[in-house]
């Protein structure tokens, strides 16, 4: 499938993108290549092929959830720039109405 620079400009306008110089011609060529490749993929016979999420088998990469000692409240707050009532104090970022 061939995408023209004019069609690329139309698509850019719909997507609210600005194209400068010869970008329309460059992107038209790239888009045409992408569409040609997708047509090749669509022409493949996938009958009997099970859908899959990953192209290769994966194993669980998560570690076991094991309880371990952690910092005490005092240790966690030791280097806090500001604290209040045993918690980190941070500046307000949302204005109240």
Kindly state the tokens that stand for 30. 């790239």
Q: Is the pLDDT of residue 80 over 90?
A: yes
Q: What percent of the chain has pLDDT over 90?
A: 70
Positive or negative: CA dihedral 87, 89, 94, 96: positive
- The string of pLDDT tens digits covering residues 30-77 is 999 999 999 999 999 989 988 887 777 777 778 888 999 999 999 999
- Map residue 46 onto helix, strand or coil: coil
DSSP 35-89: HHHHHHHHTS--TTPPP-SSSS-----PPP--------HHHHHTT-SSEETTEE-
**72, 67, 68: which is closest to 86 by C-alpha?**
72
In this prediction, residue 31 carries a pLDDT of 95
In this prediction, residue 67 carries a pLDDT of 93
**pTM of this prediction exceeds 0.75:** no
């Amino acid at each position: 499938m061939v995408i023209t620079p004019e069609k690329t400009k139309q698509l850019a306008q719909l997507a609210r993108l600005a194209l400068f110089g010869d970008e329309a011609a460059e992107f038209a060529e790239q888009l045409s290549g992408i569409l040609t490749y997708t047509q090749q993929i669509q022409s493949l016979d996938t009958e009997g092929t099970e859908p899959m999420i990953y192209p290769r088998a994966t194993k669980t990469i998560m570690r076991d959830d094991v309880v371990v000692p952690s910092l005490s409240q005092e240790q966690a707050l030791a280097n806090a720039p500001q604290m209040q009532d045993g918690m980190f104090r941070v500046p307000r970022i949302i204005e109240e109405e």
